[in-house]
Amino acid sequence: MQPSTPPSPAAPPIRRDYPSGALAFPHRDLTGIGHLARHEILYVLDEAEQWFALNRQSQKSVDLLAGLTIINAFFENSTRTLLSFEIAGKRLGADVVNMHAATSSVKKGETLIDTAMTLNAMRADAIVIRHASSGAVRLIAGKVDCPVLNAGDGQHEHPTQALLDALTIRHALRLPPGSDLNGLNVTICGDILHSRVARSNILCLTALGAQVRVCAPPALMPAEIEAMGVSVFHDFDAALAGAQIVMMLRLQQERMQGQFIPSPREYRHLYGLTLDRLARAEPDALVMHPGPMNRGIEIDSQVADHPTRSLITQQVECGVAIRMACLDVLTRRARAVPGWAQGAAA
Amino acid sequence: MIPRATTIVGGRLVLPHGAPQPGAIRLAEGRIAALGAITPEPGDSVIDAGGQLITPGLVDLGVFAVDKPAFHFGGITRAALMPDQGPPLDHPARVRFAAQSGKPDMWVHPLAAATRGLDGTELAELALMRDAGARAVATGRRWIADSGVMLRLLSYCAMLDLVVVTHAEDAGITGSAVATAGEMATRLGLPSAPAEAESVALARDIALAEVTGARIHVRQVTTARALDLVRAAKARGVRITAGVTPAHFMLSDLELADFRTFCRLSPPLRPDHDRRAVIDAIADGTIDVIASGHDPRGPEDKRLPFADAEPGMAGAETLLSLSLTLVRDGRIDLARAFDLLAGAPARLLRVNAGVLQVGAEADIALVDPDRAWIVSSDRMAASAGNTPFDRRPVEGRVTALFKGGQQIG
């Protein structure tokens, strides 16, 4: 099956009539894709297009968020997501402050709520949070007065990753703004159980009309995941047949308590994406990975570095644009943008 | 000074069998002296029940804290205290202290820790603790993983004729799980374990109880498959009894939406078909005891991300009202409800209470079964308001409570 709009460089933008003002995105926070309607996802993707274009210019910054303070509170280590949010905030002209759990009072035993109240009292205009526990971001969102963006909570959600993946796919297939991913075949393979990226991507891709397959050994497959609208595979070759997009996930060895797989070598034998394996997918199938990669385990370097098939660096590029769009949209109420000043639901 | 005898008139007596009988009850010298169609003796203080139910005080088998205001609110006159205290009840002196801790207006029956430090490896001094006042032995919040230890524990307790209160969750399967594997846990990304962790653990404990002839009481049986095992074991004559808390027949894992930590329980909430199986098991007699599992937890334990929060709920206040929903739904009658809440746990602990009969301890509650109220977590008598039933309207409330013939609430 093909996407509802055939890929063509000259395809004109699809004009979508979004609800006006804050009704286009009536959420104070972005805690997960699960809360978003299809048109709200598309709205963020379309908003990101302008920032994607800006980021390719030599003059990359605007003063849209001048005077606003954004706190990146990362209770779990991160390099690329933190950097991406920091660059996004700075390119929009905001003051960006990073709080690393390793150097904060969290190490001294302060509770998460106390930390949240402290950040709130410092009058941040948006807080970006990553935390190792599922639901932690929503817990904080209920205690602070400003918009909260989820940069990954435990094994629950990582919404900006799913949005940037959707934008990457749209660009790679040369789909114009406004397009959904109707009918696209996507295979997600790897440690689904421990992956918040998988959950957010399943929610986002199925909302946009894609057919999603998930593939993992049984020990790394969450129970009853079929209920999320995906088909379940344990055989990687079978899962690849007909796939137009192959999304590989990192083997999260640090989250694994006990033995889920006999060895990384054996995992590679069954689930590693090699060039030979990739040949079982559609002839022009594209490969994605949220990073950081375990080269030689879930993905071979020849695949990861493939000049035409790998979208991994494009994902990083789209990440900045998506995060700029999210920061812009969620701070519109604070900036009293016409149509957004009131009425936005919490 | 001998306190005056009391006669409660104009009530409806909840007897071990049949519908409530209009009548009166006379409490003298700490015991039930007479009941039925009687009149007060000269000199008695007389209380008019005004048509309310006269019931045995509840016997709550397996609480984690001595929380008198909550127990009195809920009509609980006796509570069997779990050994999971800080430090654990694994020493005779601690058991003796705990047994005194409710006096004068509450009976606390300590459950002795089966193993030292509740670590599941070395047997504690069970006979000394029995003689210090322990009414039974309990494995605590956890399962004893080592089957050899469990075998020796059960054979020793069979000799001492002490019932062993067990927790049925295979620790190897549960690991660090905080939810039952299924759609809900998958969507929320919570560490989860299959419900079979319970039946696997229970199957082993039943086999060992059968070998040793020990009496075991499984404090909470919450899954359809484990209930089938209990049913079959009872039919074979294994000396097994089973309990449950209202959370597992009122709530399913759908409650975990929005990561509500008040719904973080041990064992975790189950899918709805298990919840319905629990109600069926209460109706058919497979489940013998309903207890509160009272475990008040403050914000420092609950105002955390779901998986980091401690398990447990404050259940003493809502135990009776929630159990009465089964009566209102026609699944059990009133007599059976009070057997689940008082009679059966009293028999397990071998205390002469939990039932309205002449000679039993005069632990009595007056209950207005139709009085409606709303559970509110910020206005609870308990030392913490961690109830998953917050803002739920319920019916049935204790209006007066007597322990040993003396009014205490």
DSSP letter for each residue of A92-134: TT-EEEEEEGGGSGGGGT--HHHHHHHHHHTT-SEEEEEESST
Tell me the C-alpha to C-alpha distance, in Å, between residue B106 and each of B94, B101, B109.
18, 8, 10
Q: How far is B298 from chain A (nearest CA, A)?
A: 14
Closest Cα in chain A to B257? A135
Cα–Cα nearest to A166, from A43, A258, A327: A43
Residue B29 lies in a domain: no
Q: What pLDDT, on the 0 to 100 scale, is given for residue A344?
A: 45
Per-residue pLDDT for A56 more than 60?
Answer: yes
Lowest-confidence region among A50-54, A102-106, B194-198: A102-106
Interchain contact, B176 vs A135, CB within 8 Å: no
A101 and A43 in a common domain: yes
Residue A16 lies in a domain: no
A164 and A150 in a common domain: no
Interchain contact, A112 vs B175, CB within 8 Å: no
Interchain contact, A224 vs B308, CB within 8 Å: no
Q: How far is B259 from chain A (nearest CA, A)?
A: 6
Q: What pLDDT, on the 0 to 100 scale, is given for residue A259?
A: 77
Residue A75 lies in a domain: yes
User: Chain A residues with CB inside 8 Å of B183's CB?
Assistant: 223-224, 227-228
**Two structure tokens written together for A253:** 């060895």
**Two structure tokens written together for B20:** 């409530």
Look over chain B and give the mean of its residue pLDDT values, rounded to a whole number: 96
A322 and A265 in a common domain: no
A182 and A272 in a common domain: yes
pLDDT band of A1, cuts 50, 70, 90: very low
Residue B26 lies in a domain: no
Q: What pLDDT, on the 0 to 100 scale, is given for residue A346?
A: 44
Which residue has better confidence, A342 or A236?
Answer: A236
Q: Is A343 exposed, middle or buried (0-12, 13-18, 19+ CB in 10 A)?
A: exposed
Interface test with B, best of A139, A158, A260 (most B CBs within 10 A): A139
User: Chain A residues with CB inside 8 Å of B175's CB?
Assistant: 257-258
Residue A240 lies in a domain: yes
pLDDT band of A219, cuts 50, 70, 90: very high
Closest Cα in chain A to B271? A224
CA angle B312, B317, B320 (to 5 degrees): 105
> What CATH number is given to the structural domain containing A137?
3.40.50.1370
d(C-alpha A108, C-alpha A105), whole Å: 5
B42-47 LR contacts (CB < 8 Å, sep 24+) = B43/B4, B43/B5, B44/B4, B44/B5, B44/B6, B44/B7, B45/B4, B45/B5, B45/B6, B45/B7, B46/B6, B46/B7, B46/B8, B46/B9, B47/B6, B47/B7, B47/B8, B47/B9, B47/B400
User: Chain A residues with CB inside 8 Å of B181's CB?
Assistant: 222-224
Residue B22 lies in a domain: no
Q: What pLDDT, on the 0 to 100 scale, is given for residue A101?
A: 73
Residue A335 lies in a domain: no
- A297 with A321: CB under 8 angstroms? no
Interchain contact, B185 vs A223, CB within 8 Å: yes
Residue B171 lies in a domain: yes
**Two structure tokens written together for B18:** 């049949």
Per-residue pLDDT for A11 more than 80?
Answer: no
User: Chain B residues with CB inside 8 Å of A257's CB?
Assistant: 175-176
Residue B172 lies in a domain: yes
Residue A58 lies in a domain: yes
A291 and A147 in a common domain: no
- A255 with A198: CB under 8 angstroms? no
A274 and A193 in a common domain: yes
Q: Tell me the sheet residues that pair with B406.
A: B403
Q: What pLDDT, on the 0 to 100 scale, is given for residue B350?
A: 96
Q: What pLDDT, on the 0 to 100 scale, is given for residue A94?
A: 98
Q: Is A56 exposed, middle or buried (0-12, 13-18, 19+ CB in 10 A)?
A: exposed
A192 and A99 in a common domain: no
> What CATH number is given to the structural domain containing B317?
3.20.20.140
Per-residue pLDDT for A113 more than 60?
Answer: yes
Other beta carbons within 10 Å of A286: 23
Residue B21 lies in a domain: no
Q: Is B17 exposed, middle or buried (0-12, 13-18, 19+ CB in 10 A)?
A: exposed
User: Chain B residues with CB inside 8 Å of A139's CB?
Assistant: 259, 303-305
Cis preceding-peptide flag for A307 (omega within 30 of 0): no
Q: How far is B191 from chain A (nearest CA, A)?
A: 8
A261 and A180 in a common domain: yes
Across the range A133-153, mean pLDDT stands at: 95
Q: Which domain holds residue B70?
A: 57-354+372-395
Residue B74 lies in a domain: yes
> Could you read off the pLDDT of B27-82 as tens digits, one per residue?
999 999 999 999 999 999 999 999 999 999 999 999 999 999 999 999 999 999 99
Per-residue pLDDT for A229 more than 50?
Answer: yes
Q: What pLDDT, on the 0 to 100 scale, is given for residue A289?
A: 98
Q: What pLDDT, on the 0 to 100 scale, is given for residue A256?
A: 62
Residues from A in contact with B at Cβ < 8 Å: 34, 111-113, 131, 133-136, 138-139, 153-157, 196, 199, 222-225, 227-228, 257-258
A163 and A147 in a common domain: no
Interchain contact, B183 vs A112, CB within 8 Å: no
d(C-alpha A269, C-alpha A246), whole Å: 17
Interchain contact, A223 vs B305, CB within 8 Å: no
Residue A5 lies in a domain: no
Give me the residue from B176, B186, B306 closest to A135, CB to CB.
B306
d(C-alpha A249, C-alpha A198), whole Å: 8
- B47 with B365: CB under 8 angstroms? no
How many domains does the structure of chain A reveal? 2
Averages of pLDDT over runs of 10 residues in chain B (409 residues) are 87 97 96 96 95 98 96 97 97 96 93 97 97 97 96 98 97 95 97 97 98 97 98 97 98 95 97 98 98 95 93 97 97 98 98 97 97 94 94 97 93
Per-residue pLDDT for A52 more than 80?
Answer: yes
For chains A and B, what is the number of CB pairs under 8 angstroms?
78
> Could you read off the pLDDT of A176-195 as tens digits, one per residue?
999 999 999 999 999 999 99
Local structure of residue A255 (DSSP, 8 states): G
Residue B17 lies in a domain: no
Across the range A294-315, mean pLDDT stands at: 96
A311 and A184 in a common domain: yes
How many domains does the structure of chain B reveal? 1
A134 and A113 in a common domain: yes
A224 and A121 in a common domain: no
Cα–Cα nearest to B290, from B18, B134, B63, B20: B63
Interchain contact, A112 vs B305, CB within 8 Å: yes
Across the range A75-88, mean pLDDT stands at: 93
Interface test with B, best of A33, A134, A194 (most B CBs within 10 A): A134
Closest Cα in chain B to A203? B187
Q: What pLDDT, on the 0 to 100 scale, is given for residue A17?
A: 86
pLDDT band of A260, cuts 50, 70, 90: confident
Cα–Cα nearest to A183, from A249, A234, A243, A246: A243
Residue A39 lies in a domain: yes
Look over chain A and give the mean of its residue pLDDT values, rounded to a whole number: 91
Q: Which domain holds residue A303?
A: 159-315
Residue A18 lies in a domain: no
